[in-house]
Structure formats: structure tokens, C-alpha cells
A and B are shown apart, each in its own frame.
Chain A
Amino acid sequence: MAHADEREIEELPPDEDSELEAHLQTKRMLINLGPSHPAMHGTVRMKVELEGEIIVRADPEIGFLHRGFQKSCENVTWNQCLPYTDRLNYVSAIMNNLGFLNAVEKLVGLEIPERAQYIRVAASELHRMHDHLTCVGAIGLELGGFSAFLYAIEGRELIMDRVSELTGARLTTTFGRVGGLNRDLPEGWVDRVHKTLDKIHELLGEVDGLLTNNRIFVDRMRGTGIITAQDALDFGFTGPCLRANGIKYDVRKASPYWVYDRMDFDVPIGENGDNYDRYLMRMEELKQSEKIVRQALREAPPGPIIVDDWRIALPPKAEVYGTIEGVISHFKLVMEGVPVPPGEVYDCTEAANGELGWYLVSDGSGRPYKVHVRAPGFAILSGVPRMIEGRMLADVIPTFDTINMIGGEVEQ
């Protein structure tokens, strides 16, 4: 933290009543939080105006991680957008991949095979756990509970191992293709996932025991970073941050996609809209996601994992090397991309932090004409000044933790 530009710093009038107290020369101070600070999650600069320890005004400044996501997508084929979507929310990349694919499939008018739908649900929920574990662990870390962080990160690391077995990468998964999935579950993977979930269940118990009723933790979390339900809706909060206000909106329940309507899970809601409730939402969702992963893997039927249409999905390698039709289809798909007919669509899925919306426009050329991404974090970050103005500077840290802002998706 350092002094920022010296504008609008005014001197306060002396307090007339306290005759006996020595007059301390105080004035409003403008300071920088970030952009490169471990507590600022990603790279966000926040200009805060302080009166003593109270925040008078806060102005987040974003864009340090801007990569030109939309412009890049407009210049590559639909499947080539996938690696860019990894880098939106890099803590739960699979959910971005599959959310984007779901929107493209809706625009094409594709129904994907049932097995692919089950695997998509399982992989998404696994990554939701990954995201929530990171968030919960980071809250512990930044409020002084380093052991809780280590337990959470151990669980997260195990999920990462499973994800890298499934997709070949730890972070940049690029999982799925238009029309289904690019690869099936590896051998023995399901058993390892069940064992991983057992272990995570145990680790979560530790985190829960260390944090949930910890006096220091509760004091820092309860009653801080409050937002009213009306403001939360107004700013466009979704996901755990909206549900902590008692508003039950979850895309998985409100308009189920894939096979979420067959999954047996509850959506937790809070009531106070403070940091503590947002933390509890994530802890409960971790348990619910565990249930979903187990159920989806148990019920996934055998069968194809991608549509049998060579205009959409790559033909099997034997066909590519052995038949002229295979070579041509392969060539056309790689060079020209998936033929998405002209049109537009708005589609959304429930990502770890809320509604991940896509507004896609196609001109039929094989490349997206427009890819709008409604990143949940963008809306939530815009509401942060409302949550911290008039409160103590120290409340910024837990508030920033519980909204779980991810620079990659906010700054595109």
C-alpha cells in the first residue's frame, strides 16, 4: 500500500467537544490497495479514501488482466475459442468450456449424447468443488488460519490430479468439443474420484472444524461486507453471493440443462448477505457438489460421447487415414470450423460464482461474429464499493475473499 495521487484530500474540522483531548491533525487519506497485492486476488487496484480506518469511498480499477477475449474469439473458429475460455475463470475452467459449448450447441440446435451429458455434469461439479475449496482456503489464509488453507489446498490438489488425468492439463483444461466430449473417462478414474471425494470429505471436516465456529474467524466475517437483497439483485449478483441474501436462484434448478433435473441435490440459501453467509453457502455447496459427482458417475450410461455427425465432430482416426470421406470431413472441420448457421442466442449455465451467460451471434462463416460473456464476477465486483463503503479498511479483505473475484473472467 502506498500513497496515491493527492487529490481531494481535505482537512477535517477539529472536534469542539473534546477539550481535554490533544488535537491530532487528521485528514482524509487516499490510498492504493493493489494492484499487486496477495489479498487483491488477481490484479485489481482499488483506490480507497479513508477517514481514519473507515472507508469513505472506494473505486476499483480493473483491466490489468485484459487479454482481448472477445476480439480473439471473433477471429478463430468456434472450437478454437475453447482454449480462450479456459482462461476466463482459471479456477474452474471446465465450467467455462462446457458453458460455452452448451451455448454453441443451442445455437446449432444439437442434442448431445446422454453419456456426455452425465460426464459434463460430473466434471463441472468436480471443478465447482475445486473453485469453492480455493475460495474457502483463501479466506482462511487471509484471516490468519493458515492450517485451514493447507487442508483446503490439499483437497484442491487432489481434484487437480483427477482433472489432469481426465483432460491432460491442470488448469487449462480445454475439455469438451461442440457436440459432446473429446475424450472418455480414463480407466479406473471413477474409483479414484470416489476415493478422492472421501478424502476431501475428511479434509472439509477439518476446515469446518478450524473455521466455522472459530471466534476470530466469525468476528471478522459475521456482519461485514453486507449487501441488501435489493442491491444484490440490482448489481446483478448471482450464485452463492446472491443466495447468501436468501434469494433462491440457481440456473441448475431454475432452467436445468444437461441432466441436472435428474440429480438429487439441494441449493443452500442464507439470510444476512454478509461474508459469513457467503462462506457458509460455499461450504454447503461443496457437500452438495460431492453428492452430484457421485450420482452422475454412478448413473452415467455407456454409449457414445460425441454426436455422430462428421460436420460437427472429428471422424474416428481410422476413417481419416482410411477413407476419402474421413479425410475431407477432417480437413473441412479443422480448416473451416463447425458450421454454425446464422443466428443469435443467449444461454446460461451456473458456474462456481453464478450465472455464466453467453450471447453468441453467428453470421454462418464458421467463426463467431460476436461472443459476449456475462462473467458473474464482473457484476459482483461492481457491487463491492457498496459493500465496503462506511466500513473498516480491514473488512475489505474478507469481502474480497468471499465474493471470490477471478481476474481472468472479470477482465476478459
Chain B
Amino acid sequence: MSLRALTLVQEKYPDAFVEQYTDRTGGAWGVLKPESLRQVLAHVKDDPQLDFKLFLSIDAVDRLQLPDNDPRFEVVYFLYSVSHREHLRLKVRVSEATPEVPSVTSIFQGANWWERFVWDFYGIRFSGHPDLRRILMYEEFKGHPLRKDYPLRERQPLIPERPIRDIFRGPGTSGTA
């Protein structure tokens, strides 16, 4: 897996990591401090020994209902090195009070839309992002739907919904059940 790469990064930036671990399926993870995220990503992209040039994705996890939930959010980064055939899995932990991570859009252009996605669905801001708008939901939408405390059946219609009598629509409807 990507243990080799993580070891190389840690030799270069020993202070950047909060922790490193291997998950049950053998995937190696590096948990970074938010302030060293940009430095590490720029390094793994340009260093020929690492060469993580293929940007895969960003997402977040809301740990609210998990046993160890402080800080509440984890932002995960996936990169791939075509020449070394390995994945790199990185994480940054952010608290509920200051949900903000430095944007990496200036390093990987592909991060642009994924960061907008995480902002849209988790309400985590990316400082330095050129255009941090919602991406899938509409601008008028209130809240961030993938947060665990956002109700499953919450409805926010843009135009008033007509009541439909013969369809059960569950709680939280504006129509009658």
C-alpha cells in the first residue's frame, strides 16, 4: 500500500503528522495537521520518488455518532501515483467550532469541485478557495445535508408543495400524510 510513501513524507516533514496508522484492510493513512497540508501535498506531487500527480478525490466524514468524535470532522484526501502504482490516503481533522481547512486548489486544480462538494454537504470552509459556492444543492438551501444532525426527511422546497392525499410522504412534509 502506501506505507512507503508515508514513511518518505514523514522523514521529510516529521512535524506535519498528527498520527499514522494502517486500517484493518491494510490501507496506510496519514493524519496531517491542517497547517502543513498544503506543504505536504505540494511535496508529494513534485518529488519524483513519490510522484502523486493523479488527484482522485476529497470527501469528509462527520464523526458525530462515532465513539471518538472530537474533533468532529475529518476531511479525507485520495491521491494516486501512476509511476509507483500506489494510493495515498491523507486526513485532516477539524473541529465543529472552526470548520476550516486550507484549500489545495492552487496545487491540484481538480480539488476545486471536490472542495465545493465538501463545503456544500458538510459546511467545511476551504480558506483560499477561488470560488467556494455550493455545487449540487441550490444556493438558497439552508444547512449541510450530509451532517449527521441534518434530518433525513427534512424538506426545503423552492416553491410550495401541493398536498397529495394518497401518497405517504413521511414526517417533515408540508402536505398532509
Binding site for B on A (CB under 8 A): 62-63, 66, 68, 70-71, 75, 106-107, 109, 230-231, 233-236, 238, 242, 247-249, 254-255, 341, 343-348, 355, 357, 359, 361, 363, 369-370, 372, 374, 378-379, 381-383, 386, 411-412
Contact = CB atoms under 8 A, between A and B. Distances in A.
Contacts of B89: 346
Interface in B68-125: 76, 78, 80, 82, 85, 87, 89, 108-110, 112-114, 121
B152 A238 contact: no
Given A63-B134, A242-B54, A382-B112, 12 more contacts: A62-B135, A63-B138, A68-B145, A70-B146, A234-B108, A236-B110, A248-B82, A343-B25, A345-B25, A355-B80, A361-B61, A363-B66
A349 B37 CA distance: 27
B166 interface: no
B136 A345 contact: no
B128 interface: no
B164 interface: no
A361 B62 CA distance: 11
Nearest to B137: A63
A344 B24 CA distance: 8
B143 to A, nearest CB: 12
B173 to A, nearest CB: 16
Nearest to A361: B61
Which 10 A-B pairs give the minimum distances between C-beta atoms?
A: A63-B136, A236-B110, A382-B113, A372-B59, A374-B57, A235-B110, A343-B24, A66-B136, A236-B55, A233-B53
B23 interface: yes
Interface of A: prevailing SS: mixed
A386 B78 CA distance: 22
Contact of B56 (A75, A341, A374): A374
B24 A346 contact: no
A405 to B, nearest CB: 13
B27 interface: yes
Given A71-B152, A249-B82, A369 B23 contact: no
B50 to A, nearest CB: 14
B138 A71 contact: no
Contacts of A235: 55, 109-110
Contacts of B61: 361, 369-370
B152 A374 contact: no
Nearest to A379: B110
B27 to A, nearest CB: 6
A368 to B, nearest CB: 11
A249 B24 contact: no
Given A249-B82, A255-B85, A379-B57, A372 B25 contact: no
16 contacts: A63-B135, A71-B146, A71-B152, A75-B152, A106-B25, A109-B24, A230-B53, A233-B53, A234-B53, A249-B80, A341-B24, A346-B89, A363-B65, A369-B65, A382-B110, A411-B136
Contacts of A106: 25
A43 to B, nearest CB: 12
A296 B138 CA distance: 45
A62 B112 CA distance: 14
B20 to A, nearest CB: 14
A346 B108 contact: no
